[in-house]
Amino acid sequence: AQTVTQSQPEMSVQEAETVTLSCTYDTSESDYYLFWYKQPPSRQMILVIRQEAYKQQNATENRFSVNFQKAAKSFSLKISDSQLGDAAMYFCAYRSVAGGTSYGKLTFGQGTILTVHP
Amino acid sequence: NAGVTQTPKFQVLKTGQSMTLQCAQDMNHNSMYWYRQDPGMGLRLIYYSASEGTTDKGEVPNGYNVSRLNKREFSLRLESAAPSQTSVYFCASSDWAGAPRDADTQYFGPGTRLTVL
């Protein structure tokens, strides 16, 4: 079974600065998807960014980018020019592509609470 | 756009009571999911349904049952609630149709906060 670990329970950043959230995962599979989800105080889960393991190029989405290190099984999220609205809990998630009982299911990390200071 | 809706938003139960959490999506998605979120543990999958008429267990299915009533609706039932089931419950849906590389972005409902006394 796959596991996802977020070792930073809490992080903080000054407005307009850059912050990086860490995520590592354990899998024996070579093909999979990785995601970052944002959960603001409203509790709504919002997809931030997605990475396909067979693509070496790191995904970017406006101010959000990832550093995907497949060999190290590391998938960090960089938020540039942080804004007050970025304050939320961020979850890293894994989805298998290899088949079997893991199809279509997301495995989440424990989450990192991000605080943005004005 | 309603997306994924869940009812109720809050619920308090006594140990041993039963209840059903309702979920509906209007995006014509094939797959639907139920997760629970507990502090320090992230979201864990309870059950999922890859298509109408099919359901499968996730990581923590004990104490729960599900029904995929039709393509739109996926309900979660607690037959005899226990304090360990105090949690926030999320329903999600995606357009995943069963093949490895199908579109699979999951869209989440607003959650139900359940307390079992």
- For A107, the token pair is 């495995």
Q: Are B42 and A106 an interchain contact pair (Cβ–Cβ within 8 Å)?
A: no
pLDDT at B99: 66
Mutation site, B41, B107, B108, interface A, largest A CB count within 10 A: B108
* Residue B117 scores a pLDDT above 70: yes
Per cent of chain A over pLDDT 70 is: 94
Q: Which residues of chain B have a CB within 8 Å of the CB of A50? A: 105
Cα separation, B46 vs B36, whole angstroms: 7
Of the candidates B40, B50, B108, the beta carbon closest to that of A104 is on B50
Instruction: Measure Cα distances from B93 to A7, A49, A62, B23 in Å.
Output: 28, 17, 25, 10
Assign A54 a pLDDT band (cuts: 50, 70, 90).
confident
pLDDT for residue A97 is more than 90: no
pLDDT surpasses 60 at A47: yes
User: Which pLDDT score is estimated for B97?
Assistant: 64
| Contacts for A19 with CB less than 8 Å, ≥ 6 apart | A11, A12, A13, A78, A79, A82, A114
End-to-end, the C-alpha distance of chain A in Å comes to 41
Q: Which residue has the tokens 């060999």?
A: A71
Nearest to B40 by CA among A48, A103, A46, A6: A6
Close Cβ partners of B66 (under 8 Å, ≥ 6 residues apart):
B34, B46, B47, B49, B55, B74, B75, B76, B77
Mean of pLDDT values over A88-106: 78
Mean pLDDT of A104-116: 91
Closest CA to B35 of B8, B14, B66: B66
- To test the contact with chain A by mutation, choose from B37, B89, B90 the residue with the greatest count of A C-beta atoms within 10 A, namely B37
- Let me know the angle formed at the C-alpha of B34 by B25 and B53, rounded to the nearest 5 degrees: 65
Tell me: the pLDDT tens digits for A77-95?
999 999 999 999 999 999 8
Residue A46 near residue A36, CB atoms below 8 Å: no
Query: Running DSSP on this structure, what letter comes out for residue B39?
Result: T
For an interface test with B, give the residue of A33, A37, A45 to mutate (most B CBs within 10 A). A45
- Which residues, numbered 66 to 85 in chain A, qualify as contacts with chain B under a Cβ-Cβ cut-off of 8 Å? none
Q: Is A86 helix (H, G, I), strand (E, B) or coil?
A: helix
CB contact under 8 A, B42 and A111: yes
Question: Please, what is the Cα angle at B40 between B39 and B44, to 5 degrees?
Answer: 80
B81 to chain A, closest Cα gap in Å:
23
Indicate if the pLDDT at residue B90 is higher than 90. Answer: yes
Place of tokens 């999958």: B45
Q: Rounded CA gap, A4 and A46, in Å?
A: 18
Would you call B96 helix, strand, or coil by DSSP? coil
B5 min Cα distance to partner chain A (Å): 11
pLDDT of residue B101: 64
Q: Are B108 and B6 in contact (CB under 8 A)?
A: no
Q: Is A84 helix (H, G, I), strand (E, B) or coil?
A: helix
pLDDT surpasses 60 at A22:
yes
Which chain B residue is nearest to residue A42, measuring alpha carbons? B110
